[in-house]
Amino acid sequence: MVVRPVRQVIFLLPALALLLAACAPAAAPSPTAAPAKPAATAAPAKPAEKPAATAAPAKPAPTAAAKAEEKPATGEPYKIGAIFDITGGGSSLGVPERDTIKMLEAEVNARGGIKGPDGKLHPVQVVLYDNQSQESQSVLVAKRLIEEDKVPVILGATQSGTTLAMVDTIQKAQVPLISAAASIRIVEPVAEHKWVFKTPQSDVLIHSVLVEYLKAKGLTRVAWMSVNNAFGDSGRDEFQKAAPAAGIQIVANERFGAEDKDMSAQLTKIRGTDANALIIWAIPPAASVATKNAADLGIKIPVFQSHGIGNQDFITLAGPAANGVVFPVGKLLVADSLADSDAQKKVLLDYTAAYQKAYGKGPTTFGGHAWDCFWIAVRAMEKAGPNPSAIRDQLEQIKDFVGITGVFNFSPQDHNGLDRRAVTMVKIVDGKWKATD
Amino acid sequence: MSDAAQYLVTGLTLGSIYALVALGFVTVFSVTGVINFAQGEFVMLGAMLAAQFVQVGAPLPLAALLAVAGAALVGALVFEVGLRPARGASELAMIIITIGASTAIRGAALLAWGTDPRPLAAFTPGPPIELAGAAVVRQSLWVLGATAAVLVALHLFFSTTAMGRALRACAVNAVAARLVGISPRHTGLAAFVLSGAVGAVAGVVLAPLSYATYDMGLMLGLKGFVGAVLGGMANPSGAVAGGLALGLLEAFGTPISSAYKDAAAFIVLILAMLLRPGGLFGRGLGRGSL
Amino acid sequence: MSWLGVPRRDWVILAAVAVVVGAAPLAVSRYYLSILVTVGVYGMATVGLCLLAGYARQISLGHAAFYGLGAYASGLLAARWDWSPWITIPVGVLGSGLVAWLLGRPVLRLSGHYLAMATLGLGIVFQVALNELTELTGGPSGFSGIPSVPLAWLPFNSEVRSLYLVWALCLALLGLALWLVNTRIGRVLRAIGESELAAELLGLDTAAWKVRVFALSAAYAALAGALYAHYVTFLSPAPFGFMFSLELLVMATIGGLASVWGGLLGAGIVVVLTETLRSALPKSLPGSSGELELILFGLALVAIMALRPSGLAGLGRVLLGRWAPRAALATPTEAVEAESVGEAARVGS
């Protein structure tokens, strides 16, 4: 234990700096700690005003309104809490979500903030934390947002596990949560998950479109392989439920790890079956490795994938092997080829352009889920102000909200609010996404 | 028949990667007595740096060289900043220091490169080669070749160079080595530089097969550790044998049950160790201390 | 100077901790209470790990499996078969201890790295089982609907109830560990830790003792896991993997393996450090998140271990040394080295 003093000092300096930073601002009490609480019962009584306010549901609904009037007074900031899986296993999904939220926060504040029910413009303050893709951390962070930061609404988390872990906390604290994770169990049964909403498409929806497509093409003998985590597991489960009804038979059912470096062994086994289609349910890089392995092994049957490959990475990584791959996904990837009459086209192109400008690369569908979470929360706060139960009631009233994932129609029975228009089949041709049917 | 050949090719390729990682573990352990849990991060750095340098326009051989040098430098840093100040500490304390270092390196990689996986083109492009009914990807041959080359190079280094002999002396008997004037500081540093370089080689040859991601080091470090332990922890040839054994177990276990392949591999390994508690592939040189 | 063989100083600190935790709900918000709950849960598991890895010097890289076994056993029995948590928790703990005892008999014949790898393997086998036995465990998606421990008769809110439950058990287990290490059993474990061969030559049945302490520390971890399950009310395989095994070892070592206090201290330091980084970084460096926390956490680990390789419990000992007699404060290895082997021999004979 002989350590030269110099080294001790080097180690201690950052620690000291941190401690100082942690202690100094903690003394000042939060100014927004006690928001005025409108009577919670007032909110659900007025669903009728929907058509007037939301007739033109293009993204910057508040902008148009704000510009028409003269500049309103500035109110106290509105807080929005956010929890994403920024480091750890979910980071490839969580980072674009975080980046999207940061971009939107700046965008809203650049034009003054959220116009609340009091007619004032409220700057938005996003309090964003990383849960390290850990469920126990998710719970702690949720409590932190509720108890310390006193946010009236929370966005996130990124993955189903990290979301489900905090559902109990959310329900007890009675603060609405809008999740960017897919599992249907996040919002169902709705009666027990009154405070929880989500924006991504559920697997049931994805599979209904995929199975329909397979059936139409006469691909009824399917080899299935999926990653052995919640994403792959839920995909496999729902596919096994959806396939028999459409007369589709699963002739191989293989598993691989998210970090496996080679799936040739599984594919060799599949090569020995009489399957006429191959479905790979995973995200890159594992999804790309499997696709490339299949091409290298000379597997010629058509390859299908999941909405998990909805970003440029998949194509960059798999190279020529990506060509011909077909997958069900939201419309973001094929926005520019949509008909001009498509309600989502403008929103999708705007998001793509803004993200491209801010971060120098195209957005992902995951960032799109966060985009939906953010604007849906803002939409509710415009009517409800910073009051958790009023926000919750307003969320159930949201109709015809045109988002990135789809067009949302929430209701007391449906906390996901999407229909099958939120899923389209996309084919990779010459390294580009093309809508197909 | 061709299926079995295919599993063999897959197993040898995977096994070679594990073997290279295991070689890094063994180099550090036999000289310093430290189990270096940051070994996987050296692999990640090799893959990431190579992809980065190629992306900014460096030719592949230069990029590979720079990546290996970069990882070796980080290896030196881990030793100098983390381990040397703590010399004489318990084995577990050393392990925790390497875990801390690996966490910091992973965080830095996430900050620098983000979460997007990065591709690296195959060293020699072209369709897979048909061999006894198995499709052999060309990059697999590079992986096998690199493993063999590293093993031979390490062997030559340990047996013919002065530094190599000093390292070996340390491995056999640290106290005696010190008495004849071999500085444990220099040998420790050399071992970490060497293991950084060996890890990076694994990363560079692996990247075209499975891409580079900032968090790839975790899993590879784990597999490499298993390979090294199987080989007796202090024996380079044993480490290679251990790594290959693990790769083959996984490849041949997959068609039986891809869901349970990892569990099956470990059950077989645990049973094997119980039957041969001295390591599966003979004893090593012994272990020294930092 | 001592009660039940445990130095009075230890009882005083234990009582002080109990008072501080007991009074915490008066002073801080529920968020800080939930941090304390987390410290208590992890602390329980690390105290058990200290007995195994600190005293008997047997490394386990698979302790998350026993933590998970306790969590799943208790959680499943309560959620699927509606058993009361008052029954499922003891069942989970005893069951996990039994499993550890059965597995330990063959596995603990290995030593050093072979033991590390074998325990790592057990952890991975457990993880695979959780993922694949979907009918039972809910697979990778996990399952929810685990009831909280029924303590509604206590006049507190749910967070305070969890706090008192977790810390009552945590401090009881800590007391048990303190008592154990000060009995002849503790000296046997240290003797095994110092030199298994010597301990054996003196007539100790080292194999049996190793299995016993392995099972005991697994039961500690299982109780922690069971409490986690009933606190979060949702379980999936993710928190019970290799990374958590490492994290437990990190906590125990940072705190100081040479004393059972180190387990609790280490858990506290790791949890508080994580939370401090999370709240301090955005304030000092606007716009930062996740990535920097990871880097600084890693560097902090390196710094702590490089500066205090024996763990931070030793630091407390140095500070306390100003007023407490030296002999009572010596580390177990220092104080016991001389006498323990001889003493232990008498136990074995």
Which domains does chain C possess? 9-348 (1.10.3470)
In a domain, B286, yes or no: no
Non-local CB neighbours of B220 within 8 Å, separated by 6+ positions:
B17, B18, B21, B40, B43, B44, B202, B206
Instruction: Give me the CATH code for the A57-201+345-420 domain, please.
Output: 3.40.50.2300
Dist. CA A400–CA A422, nearest whole Å: 13
- Position C294, amino acid: L
Instruction: Mutate one of A271, A288, A296 to test the B interface: name it (highest B CB count within 10 A).
Output: A296
- Position C308, amino acid: R
Determine, for residues A261 and B17 on separate chains, whether the beta-carbon distance falls below 8 Å: yes
Indicate the residue of C249, C295, C306 with minimum beta-carbon distance to B108: C295
C154-166 pLDDT, tens per residue?
A: 888 888 999 999 9
Contact between residue B174 and residue B288 where contact means Cβ atoms under 8 Å apart: yes
Give kind and range of the element (H or E) at residue A124: strand A124-130
Rg (CA), chain A: 23
Distances (CA, A) of A222 to A255, A279, A299, A318, C287: 15, 7, 13, 22, 47
Determine, for residues C277 and A18 on separate chains, whether the beta-carbon distance falls below 8 Å: yes
Place of tokens 């919002």: A187
Q: How many residue pairs bridge chain A and chain B with CB atoms within 8 Å of each other?
A: 93
Mean confidence (pLDDT) of chain B: 88
- Chain C residues near residue A171 by CB distance under 8 angstroms: none
Number of domains chain B is built from? 1
In a domain, B290, yes or no: no
Dist. CA B264–CA A266, nearest whole Å: 16
Determine, for residues B117 and A297 on separate chains, whether the beta-carbon distance falls below 8 Å: no
SS (H, E, C) A394-417: HHHHCCCEECCCCEECCECCECCC
Q: Which of A197, A191, A164 is CA-nearest to residue A178?
A: A197
In chain A, where the domains are located: 57-201+345-420, 211-329
CATH topology assigned to domain A211-329: Rossmann fold (3.40.50)
Dihedral (Cα; B36, B41, B42, B48), 10-degree rounding: 180
B105-145 pLDDT, tens per residue?
A: 999 998 899 888 899 999 998 889 988 888 899 999 999 99
CATH number assigned to the domain comprising residue B67: 1.10.3470
Determine, for residues C124 and B262 on separate chains, whether the beta-carbon distance falls below 8 Å: yes
B255-288 pLDDT, tens per residue?
A: 888 888 888 888 888 888 888 765 566 544 444 3
- Chain A residues near residue C278 by CB distance under 8 angstroms: 129-130, 141, 144
B187-233 pLDDT, tens per residue?
A: 899 999 999 999 999 999 999 998 999 989 988 999 999 999 888 88
E strands present in A228-313: 249-256, 277-281, 303-305
End-to-end CA distance of chain C: 29
- Chain C residues near residue A24 by CB distance under 8 angstroms: 283
Distances (CA, A) of C220 to C43, C48, C122, C227, C254: 10, 5, 18, 11, 19
Determine, for residues B116 and A228 on separate chains, whether the beta-carbon distance falls below 8 Å: no
Neighbours of chain A (3+ CB pairs under 8 A): B, C
Contact between residue A130 and residue C289 where contact means Cβ atoms under 8 Å apart: yes
- Chain A residues near residue C29 by CB distance under 8 angstroms: 147-148
Band (pLDDT 50/70/90 cuts) for residue A322 is: very high
In terms of Cβ atoms closer than 10 Å to its own Cβ (0-12, 13-18, 19+), residue C9 is middle
What is residue A83's three-state secondary structure? strand
pLDDT of A295 > 50? The answer is yes
A141-191 pLDDT, tens per residue?
A: 999 999 889 999 999 899 988 999 999 999 999 999 999 998 888 998 899
| pLDDT for res B166 | 87
Dist. CA B53–CA B37, nearest whole Å: 26
Chain mean position to CA B161: 22
Dist. CA B227–CA B233, nearest whole Å: 8
